[in-house]
A = this chain, B = another copy of it.
């Protein structure tokens, strides 16, 4: 059997938003249509049920069903990475197995975060080792401190990189120093580091990140893929120019306006965005204007 470590994560992955009807029920048809459009862009694969999928607002069944839909709609060869993290270790194990059955190629496991004071290095180690050892598919660590308020230390990442089933990390914090340190301390084992945002792709790629999970790729997929290619080809001047132009739109659909913003921006580029689930509120008209300006001033609208 080939090692999980041989799975190649280099490339761009949009973290797919979940399309809702006005009554907040899931609309799988819209999802299939969106995926059909995304299939024409050079993505490496799709992340399903990451933060941008509003996974915390979905039932277990909805989460699994969405993975199934994406797996069916995805073009052959696309890697399906499914967010399977839950707060408890056992629930995460169960969800990971269901995701595998639904067609996921890789499980992406967010840090547990509720009891922040007790989420020590030891607790994270214990959690991820249990989950990875029980997982039928390879596991990617997922750290997103802006949402969780906790982070994985480089020591923990380095230790976990030794586990045969743990093949990488998606880091959405974007500290380029930490990226460099993680790559240095894990690359011998074949561990792969993914940037969790298009805002810091170029910087983190130069210290060894191999791919990117970028919310912005849902709307500006070609441009994000172009940045990926320029980085890989070492065309640094061109890469810098497009990186600069992507920062403001990317910040708009992440830090500033979140998933409601991302869904509005998707509608500008021919995708179905639609509402979010409550308590996320729709953007105000002023917020929409501000976001549009961020796209326009960089030549994307």
Which residues does A use to contact B, with CB under 8 Å? 24, 51, 56-59, 87-91, 112, 114-120, 122-124, 126-127, 130, 146-147, 149, 174-177, 179-181, 183-184, 197, 199-200, 202-204, 206-208, 234, 236, 239-240, 243-245, 247-248, 251, 255-260, 277-281
Find the B residue at minimum CB distance from A260.
B118
Please give, as numbers and ranges, the residues of chain B lying within 8 Å of A114 by CB-CB distance: 51, 56, 147
Assess whether A126 is in contact with B279, with CB atoms less than 8 Å apart.
yes
| Pair A243/B207 contact, Cβ less than 8 Å | yes
| A132 nearest CB across to chain B (Å) | 13
Q: Secondary structure of the A side of the interface?
A: helix
Question: 3 tightest A-B contacts by CB?
Answer: A203-B203, A176-B203, A89-B278
Q: Is the CB of A119 within 8 A of B279?
A: yes
* Contact status A88-B277, CB under 8 Å: yes
State the CA gap A175–B13 with chains docked (Å): 23
Q: Are the C-beta atoms of B116 and A146 separated by less than 8 Å? A: yes
Starting from the known contacts A57-B87, A118-B260, A126-B278, 6 additional A-B residue pairs (CB-CB under 8 Å) come to A89-B279, A118-B257, A180-B243, A206-B243, A207-B240, A234-B234
Q: Can you show 17 pairs from A to B with CB atoms below 8 A apart?
A: A51-B114, A51-B115, A56-B88, A59-B91, A88-B277, A88-B279, A118-B258, A126-B279, A174-B176, A174-B177, A176-B204, A177-B200, A177-B247, A180-B244, A200-B203, A202-B206, A206-B206
Give the most central of A123, A124, A177: most B CB within 10 Å. A177
Structural contact, A200 and B184, CB atoms closer than 8 A: no
Asked whether B88 lies within 8 Å of A244 as measured between CB atoms, the reply is no
- Given that A176-B176, A244-B207, A258-B117 are contacting pairs, would A279 and B147 also be in contact in the complex, using a CB cutoff of 8 Å? no
* B244-A184 in contact (CB<8A): yes
Check B90–A24 contact: CB distance below 8 A.
yes
Residues of B with C-beta under 8 A to A118: 257-260, 280-281
B207 touches A112 (CB 8 A): no
A244 to B, closest residue via Cβ: B184
Q: How far is the CB of A186 from chain B (nearest CB, A)?
A: 11
Given the complex, which residues of B lie within 8 Å of A58, measured CB to CB? 88
Q: How far is the CA of A251 from the CA of B179 in the complex (A)?
A: 14
Q: A207-B243, A240-B206 are in contact. Are A279 and B180 (CB under 8 A)?
A: no
